[in-house]
Structure 1
Amino acid sequence: MSNTETCIVADIGGTNGRFGIARFIEGEKKPHIEKVSVFPCADSSGVSPMLGQYIGQLGAERPKMARLAIAGPTTARHGRLTNLGWQADAGVLETDHRLESVKLLNDFGALAGACQFLEEGTDYIQLKKGTEDSKGPISVMGPGTGFGVALLVPVENEWITVPTEGGNMAFAPSTRLEHDLTEHLRAEMGHVSVETFLCGEGIARIHRFLVDYGGSGDRGLSPAEITKLAGEGGAPSCTRAVQLFLSIVGSSAGNIALAHGATGGVFLGGGILPKIMTMVSSSDLLRRFVAKGPMQPYLDRISVNLITAKYAALIGSAVL
């Protein structure tokens, strides 16, 4: 896009759809994101109505292009939101909203595309230092309504984004407690994936199991209530649930970093971790990240960062 062009960008997950206008300024690689609006998915019936709601706010000065990141497998023209069952078709969106060009992409692919523009302290915090490898792949992952995973690979002077469905890999328990948790959920759900635990509902699943396992606590708490009570230190079952959740984040992130060869670093994103980041330092997330037997020295060299920027995926949508 030239500096006179603008584009509608979006990051549509299982809970909210975030929309904005991306504008590129001459001489700057990082786009400016303007006019951000957030729409609850529960209030919409699909991608097209949500896009129409945003366009309706723009009035006459509406871009003719749209780049929409969605939480699920996509091609440039077709996609499906895994946790909502919504279908997205670029041709239908172009017709419905009189747009000249619509392209779809994976939401964590978009988040990965933004990583080259993020600034430490402003957009992310470093949880663990590593040995910088400017030519190494970068893993981007994190829990929200689901668990997204993407890979950023340097090729000559560019970064290539590889979206994946790594969150749907079978979960590998590392402790006796996690084994019991996995078997408990397997009896109920059949397939137990990383995403079974590393998502909003996953926190509630972990908490219900721990209440039954330990014999105390309220089984009916929502994920938001669990994380709130854990942060306040007022409910032992909630604190244990969040700590186990963070342990699983660390272990899974280490597994994915090994699979990706992520010597360029790991970026953790999604909607949950920034809300509970005060509990990360007291968790064993980082210990579990490196606890991979003979591969511990390899993981010791990999930095781990937590993305705190609210609308990073909108930047990635524009760039990609």
Structure 2
Amino acid sequence: MTETGSRIVADVGGTNGRFGLAHFVDGQEQPVIDSVKVFSCNEFAGLGEMLGAYRDELNGSAPKIAKLAIAGPTTATKGRMTNLGWDISADDIRNYHGLDQVLLLNDFGALARSCPYLKEGQDFVTLKDGEADPAAPISVMGPGTGFGVAMLVPDQDRYITCSTEGGFMAFAPASRLEHDLTEYLRAELGYVCVEHFLCGEGIARIYRFLVDYGGGGDRNLTPADITRRAAEGHAPACERAVQLFLSIVGGTAGDIALAHGAKGGVYLGGGILPKIADMIPESDLLKRFVSKGAQSSYVDTIPVKLITAKYAALVGAAVA
């Protein structure tokens, strides 16, 4: 690690913006993250305003470098936050705040960049053992406000990060129930993509479908209500919604692993899965992950990890 000094780092999704300071310490590969502050996106008109609020928190001691990971397609200087409708210019933010450098990157690209620095038991848990090939790509994906997808491609002694918009690929139902679910949503939205199910609102969509499909239940529950009641038990529609959500996570992760050739491993992240991790062992997530017909044996060798660190993407932003 040749990085020195400190910088502002951020991971801004469709719901919350997480800001912190990253410090590089001699002899330590992973940057230290501190002074973390979480803001609600709906309280701000744009990323520059949110950055200003964080700089105010630092009482004039803010570094002159900012590396900002955002949920949406980006270049180093321009980006668009799909779920908020924010168009972002790094140059405008740099000039307004008098900074030396502002770098934009995709949020799941930042999460992917963090993976080589994460420690098992501290930052992630293993859901499925396997044989990781160090010369093969690593897939990183997961549900939050949307569904993020990125890939790490090994290049000698480093990784190249490839951010994608894989959450917007068409959803492929794998059962009669999922077919009916897809058609139920198609009547409302037309095009049905993976992200329509694999996000917070996706849990609510699945739940409402099951309520209508099965003929009972309160259609007005929030995603948080649904996952909480599912964890508590005694709420069959909620439990079934979360189990179907996890099944779709597994099937989608397996599809992406096949497309990426992710023999280096799969990391699942995002804000939802760590909160319902206790329900994963009883779900079909891993069964669906490996159920890929003629290529089931190919996928079965791939290890699957669940990122549990709250601010892993801040680490990835720091090392970008």
Using the size of structure 2 for normalisation, the TM-score is: 0.99
Q: Verify: 1:67 aligned to 2:67, yes or no.
A: yes
Displacement of 1:132 after TM fit? 2.3
One-letter amino acid of the structure 2 residue matched with residue 69 of structure 1: A
Alignment CA distance shift 1:299-1:3 (3 Å)? closer
Matched letter for residue 105 of structure 1: L
Matched ranges for 1:97-108 at <5 A:
97-108=97-108
Work out the CA distance in 1 between the residues paired with 2:189 and 2:220: 19
What SS does structure 2 have at the residue aligned with 1:67?
Answer: strand
Assess if the C-alpha contact under 8 Å between 1:73 and 1:79 holds in 2: yes
What is the match of residue 256 of structure 1?
Answer: 256
Given that residues 3 and 26 in structure 1 are in contact (C-alpha distance below 8 angstroms), is that contact kept between their aligned partners in structure 2?
Answer: no
Alignment-mate amino acid for residue 191 of structure 1: Y
Q: Unaligned regions of 5+ residues in structure 2, if any? A: none
Shift of 1:133: 1.1
Matched, 1:185 2:181: no
Q: Secondary structure, in 3 states, of the residue corresponding to 1:141?
A: strand
The offset of 1:234, in angstroms, is 2.3
Distance 1:2 1:293 in 2: 46
Specify the alignment match of 1:140 in structure 2.
140
Of all paired residues, the percent bearing the same amino acid is: 64
Give the aligned partner of residue 54 of structure 1: 54
How far does residue 60 in structure 1 lie from its aligned partner after superposition? Answer: 2.4
Alpha-carbon separation, structure 2, partners of 1:314 and 1:54: 14
What corresponds to 2:95 in structure 1?
Answer: 95
Q: Does 1:158 align with 2:171?
A: no
Asked if structure 2 preserves the Cα contact closer than 8 Å seen for 1:140 and 1:267, the reply is: yes
CA distance in 2 between partners of 1:67 and 1:219 (Å): 41
**Are the equivalent residues in 2 in contact too, given 1:105–1:317 (CA < 8 A)?**
yes
Per-residue CA shift, 1:131-184, capped at 9, x if unaligned?
121111100000000000000010011111000000000000000000000011
Residues of 1 paired with 2:37 and 2:160: CA distance?
Answer: 28
Separation (CA, whole Å) in 2 of partners of 1:179 and 1:4: 52
Taking the aligned partners of 1:132 and 1:171, their CA distance within structure 2 comes to 27
Following the alignment from structure 1 to structure 2, what is the Cα–Cα distance between the partners of residues 285 and 3?
A: 39
1:77-226 aligned within 5 A? 77-226=77-226
Give the letter for the 2:5 counterpart: E
What's the offset of the Cα at 1:3? 6.6
Q: Distance in 2 between matches of 1:191 and 1:250?
A: 21
Amino acid at match of 1:15: T
Amino acid at match of 2:15: T
- Counterpart in the other structure of 1:281: 281
Distance 2:155 2:95 in 1: 36
Q: Superposition RMSD on alpha carbons, in Å?
A: 1.0
How far the C-alpha of 1:4 sits from its partner, in A, is 5.3
Would you identify which runs of 4 or more consecutive aligned residues in structure 1 move more than 6 Å?
A: none
Matched pairs, number: 320
Asked if 1:311 is matched to 2:314, the reply is no
Deviations along 1:89-132, one digit per CA (max 9) or x if unpaired, are 01110111111110100000000000000011000000000012
Q: Which amino acid aligns with 1:28?
A: Q
Q: Show CA shifts across 1:3-35 (max 9, x none).
A: 752110000000100000111011222111111
1:247-278 per-position Cα deviation (integer Å, ceiling 9, x unaligned): 00000000000000000100000000000000
What is the CA–CA distance in structure 1 between the aligned matches of 2:166 and 2:302, rounded to whole Å? 19
Q: Is the 8 A contact 1:269 1:307 kept in 2?
A: yes
